[in-house]
Amino acid sequence: MSVSVQLNHTIIHARDNRASAEFLAGILGLEVGEEWGPFIPVTTGNGVTLDFAAIPADSITVQHYAFLVPEEEFDGIFDRMKATGADWFADPHMKHPREINHNDGGRGVYFIDPAGHAMEVITRPYGG
Encode pLDDT of 31-89 as tens digits: 999 999 999 999 999 999 999 999 999 999 999 999 999 999 999 999 999 999 999 99
Q: Identify the burial level of 8 via C-beta atoms within 10 angstroms of its C-beta, where 0-12 means exposed, 13-18 middle and 19 or more buried.
A: exposed
Quickly state the pLDDT bin for 3 (edges 50, 70, 90): confident
Q: Quick one: pLDDT at residue 2? A: 66
Strand bridging mode 88-89 / 64-68: unpaired
Q: With pLDDT > 70 as the criterion, what percentage of the chain qualifies?
A: 98
Class of domain 9-122: alpha beta
Q: Return the domain boundaries, the chain.
A: 9-122
SS3 81: helix
Contact between 28 and 120 under an 8 Å Cβ cutoff? The reply is: no
Quickly state the pLDDT bin for 107 (edges 50, 70, 90): very high
Q: Quick one: pLDDT at residue 1? A: 63
Task: Round to whole Å and give the CA distance between 128 and 111.
Answer: 22
Contact between 96 and 42 under an 8 Å Cβ cutoff? The reply is: no
